Amino acid sequence: MPKNIKQGFTLIELLLVVAIIAALAVTVFVALSPAKRLSDTRDARRTSDVETILTAIHAAIVDNKGSLPTNLAGAGTTEKQLGTATSGCTIATGGCTVAATGDCIDLMTGTISLSKYLKTMPMDPNTGTAALTKYSVAVDANGIVTVKSCGTEGSSNISISR
């Protein structure tokens, strides 16, 4: 007499496994927080861009025996947005206080420019354009150059001075 052996899983066992997998999936999704990761990635890019711009400015200063890039020298100590726009250069976010005081600064043109050091001017990864990069620059009375990112998504401002 052969035994009648049924193979398979019960409905309770299947539901239990599905519930465990669903709980793990939700936990992983929440832990990874894709929106936060994307925000952190854009802020890392902004930090890199600010460092790149500042390094290019200092390379131009060194190569030109202490002279500031042409368009930066005329800006004085006022914080200006980088870009090619002739209007709309006002920014009041991300630690930037760029007032509506004329055009943006185009450091890629002029007698002393950054075109030798940068292929193109970096732009904010979220909303930047060549006309309005969302990066600002200022030179204080002591010659200290400060470059800032005005589109910061995190809790701290991105700014480097040398």
Domain range spanning residue 111?
39-161
Helices (H), ranges, the chain: 11-32, 34-63, 70-73
Residue 56 lies in a domain: yes
Summarize pLDDT for 10-48 with one digit per residue, the tens: 999 999 999 999 999 988 887 888 888 889 999 999 999
Among the residue ranges 2-6, 64-68, 93-97, the one predicted with the least confidence is: 2-6
Q: Residue 90 class from Cβ within 10 Å (0-12 exposed, 13-18 middle, 19+ buried)?
A: middle
Residue located via tokens 């732009």:
123
| pLDDT interval class at 101 (50, 70, 90) | low
Number of domains in the chain: 1
- The residues, any chain, with a CB within 8 Å of residue 72's CB and separated by 6 or more, are 57, 105, 107, 137, 139, 145
Within a domain: residue 2? no
Return the pLDDT at 120: 96
pLDDT digits (tens, 9 = 90+) for 118-145: 999 999 999 999 999 999 999 998 889 9
* Two structure tokens written together for 159: 């700014």
Query: Is 4 part of a structural domain of the chain?
Result: no
Res. 103: pLDDT tops 80 = no
Instruction: Specify if 26 maps to a domain.
Output: no
* b/e code 60-84 from CB counts within 10 Å (16+ = b): bbeeeeeebbbbbeebeeebbbbbb
pLDDT of residue 123: 96
**Does 73 fall in a domain?**
yes
